[in-house]
């Protein structure tokens, strides 16, 4: 077993949940399973089953009070502990300098404010090395993250202008998820202003709560409404393997062979497709099959489920595109289990099998744990999308961002820097704006979706709605509109 040891001077910068989520990744950028803890000497210790050099990722509290994951450069194991603040500053500065170099080589115009923040980060780090003042390392981290944000804005402006010069202003499909009836006509009008397409989930437990008895009223109502508003219809996901989606009677199949479960899935999806084919523009066949779920299925079995679900749709609705959606695109599930297949490799296996997928959905459940994605900066989001673009299929990016901490979280907690510290409408708007703008600027992304117009639309990831219970818009609505229209600033 290998271990990395870190001396930590500014422990108040490390969130209380850090030991649960801190991890190391290797050259493929997939996390290795490991454990992190504070030892008796007050050091942060990360232990794992491998001894290879790797990048240590740790959440960090910013001056604003928010948190974000920060990474070191690649570290080898050694008896003498590393100084955590120094290594996080070194890693941040390394990423910053690489980004700056690539942008300069590509001829991207860089604003003076971006260069100024980059210089401040480098100078603070050099001063830290000279004086061994840990606060200077903290300053280097903060300036570096600010510089990365500024440079990524420069890059997005450049990419938007280049696309506009070549083909006119590109349009990224804006998709909104429905589920709860609109509280007022103004709420409905707001939805239609914000979204060009409608994602209509088909929850198996709602449609077939009793085996063989189908209830289509709610799905029928939303499909009719979307058609009456001349909006494109993305039906699904048709399948998730968690308790919010599956009927209770499906759990009775757990102790039987997988083929029995596959037959039930095929029968259900078949009935959905037969009922709505010809009215749907895109089938979202399943979501989150790359994570363990609540049926206790291993990765190989979940691959079989995914393949069977795709075939269930394609055999009955030929000609209509089929998309599979994936949770945790950074593969955080590997922090807890090395037996899981990384999200990208799960998707790659389905693409290589030539099952007929016409797109890949990436769901970013921002700041939720254990089923969501950790906070990262715009560069990390950009690099993740670049990696997924190598699958050479159009990407649909779905977002779920909390505006508050749920009172009684059942599945997924919202990670906050300190126990009891609240998440706000403004923080939701900030994160929605960053994620949506990075996604919309990516050439590989053909659509950006928000997965919960109202809080009730997302049972698994609570407190993520863009509107209040009375239908009033939260600040995130403006941030979404601005980002998906390609507006700067």
- pLDDT tens digit at each of 489 positions of the chain: 789 999 999 999 999 999 999 999 999 899 999 999 999 999 999 999 888 999 999 999 998 889 999 999 999 999 999 999 999 999 999 999 999 999 999 999 999 999 999 999 999 999 999 999 999 999 999 999 999 999 999 999 888 777 766 655 457 899 999 999 998 999 999 999 999 999 999 999 999 999 999 999 999 999 999 999 999 999 999 999 988 899 999 988 777 789 999 999 999 999 999 999 999 999 999 999 999 988 989 999 999 999 999 999 999 998 899 999 999 999 999 998 877 899 999 999 999 999 999 999 999 999 999 889 999 999 999 999 999 999 999 999 999 999 998 876 656 688 887 755 668 999 999 999 999 999 999 989 999 999 999 988 887 888 999 999 888 999 999 999 999 987 655
Name 157's Cβ contacts closer than 8 Å, sequence gap at least 6. Answer: 109, 488
For the record, the structure tokens of 415 come out as 């990670």
103 phi and psi angles, rounded to 5 deg = -70, -40
Q: How far apart are CA 26 and CA 331, in angstroms?
A: 13
Q: What is the pLDDT of residue 190?
A: 96
Question: What residue ranges of the chain are covered by domains with CATH 3.20.20.80?
Answer: 168-484
Name 458's Cβ contacts closer than 8 Å, sequence gap at least 6. Answer: 177, 400, 451, 452, 464, 465
How far from the centroid of its chain's Cα atoms is residue 158's Cα? Answer: 24
CATH code reported for the domain at 168-484: 3.20.20.80
Got the DSSP string for 281-346?
SEEEEEE-TTS-TTTT--HHHHHHHHHHHHHHHHTTSTTS-EEEEEE-TT-GGGGT-TTSPPHHHH
Threshold 0.85, pTM exceeds: yes
409 phi and psi angles, rounded to 5 deg = -65, 130
Q: What is the pLDDT of residue 422?
A: 66
Q: How far apart are CA 426 and CA 241, in angstroms?
A: 33
């Amino acid at each position: 077993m290998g271990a990395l040891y870190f001396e930590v001077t500014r422990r108040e910068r490390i969130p209380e949940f850090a030991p649960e989520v801190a991890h190391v990744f290797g050259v493929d950028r997939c996390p290795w399973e490991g454990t992190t803890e504070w030892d008796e000497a007050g050091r942060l210790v990360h232990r794992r089953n491998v001894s290879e050099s790797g990048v240590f990722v740790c959440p960090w509290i910013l001056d604003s009070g928010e948190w974000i994951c920060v990474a070191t450069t690649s570290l080898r194991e050694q008896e003498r502990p590393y100084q955590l603040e120094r290594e996080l500053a070194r890693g941040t500065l390394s990423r910053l300098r690489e980004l700056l170099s690539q942008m300069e080589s590509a001829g991207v115009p860089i604003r003076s404010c971006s260069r100024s923040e980059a210089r401040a980060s480098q100078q603070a780090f050099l001063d830290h090395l000279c004086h061994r003042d840990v606060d200077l390392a903290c300053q280097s981290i903060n300036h570096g993250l600010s510089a990365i944000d500024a440079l990524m804005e420069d890059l997005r402006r450049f990419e938007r202008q280049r696309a506009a010069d070549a083909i006119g202003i590109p349009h990224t499909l804006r998709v909104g998820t429905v589920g709860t009836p609109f509280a007022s006509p103004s709420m409905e009008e707001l939805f239609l202003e914000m979204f060009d397409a409608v994602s209509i989930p088909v929850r198996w437990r709602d449609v077939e709560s009793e085996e063989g008895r189908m209830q289509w009223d709610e799905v029928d109502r939303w499909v009719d409404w979307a058609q009456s508003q001349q909006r494109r219809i993305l039906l699904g996901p048709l399948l998730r393997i968690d308790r919010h989606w599956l009927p209770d009677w499906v759990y009775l199949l757990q102790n039987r062979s997988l083929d029995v479960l596959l037959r039930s899935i095929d029968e259900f999806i078949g009935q959905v497709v037969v009922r709505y084919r010809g009215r749907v523009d895109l089938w979202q066949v399943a979501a989150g099959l790359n994570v363990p779920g609540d049926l206790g299925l291993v990765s190989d079995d979940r691959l079989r489920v995914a393949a069977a679900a795709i075939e269930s749709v394609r055999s009955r609705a030929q000609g209509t595109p089929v998309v599979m959606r994936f949770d945790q695109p950074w593969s955080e599930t590997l922090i807890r289990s090395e037996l899981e297949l990384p999200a990208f490799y799960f998707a790659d296996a389905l693409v290589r099998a030539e099952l007929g997928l016409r797109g890949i959905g990436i769901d970013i459940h921002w700041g939720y744990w254990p089923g969501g994605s950790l906070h990262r900066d715009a560069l990390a989001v950009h690099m993740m999308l670049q990696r997924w673009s190598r699958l050479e299929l159009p990407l649909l990016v779905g977002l779920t961002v909390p505006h508050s901490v749920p009172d009684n979280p059942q599945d997924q907690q919202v990670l906050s820097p300190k126990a009891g510290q609240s998440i706000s409408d403004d923080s939701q708007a900030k994160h929605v704006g960053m994620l949506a703008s990075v996604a919309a600027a990516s050439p590989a992304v053909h659509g950006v979706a928000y997965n919960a117009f109202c809080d009730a639309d997302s049972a698994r990831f609570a407190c993520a709605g863009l509107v209040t219970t009375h239908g009033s818009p939260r600040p995130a609505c403006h941030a979404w509109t601005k980002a998906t229209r390609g507006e700067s600033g």
